[in-house]
Amino acid sequence: MADHNTNAAQAESDKRYWAANVRIILVSLVIWAIVPFGFGILLRPMFSGITIGGSDLGFWVAQQGSIIVFLALIFFYAFRMNKLDREFGVDEE
Which residues of this protein are in contact with another protein, per CB under 8 A? Answer: 11, 14, 17-18, 21-22, 25, 28-29, 32, 36-37, 40-42, 44, 52-56, 59-60, 62-64, 66-68, 70-71, 73-75, 77-78, 81-82, 85, 89-92
At its nearest, how many Å lie between another protein and the CB of residue 9? Answer: 14
Q: Where are the beta strands (DSSP E) in the chain?
A: 51-52, 55-56
Q: 28: closest CA among 74, 91, 79, 62?
A: 74
At its nearest, how many Å lie between another protein and the CB of residue 2? Answer: 20
Interatomic CA distance for residues 90 and 93, integer angstroms: 9
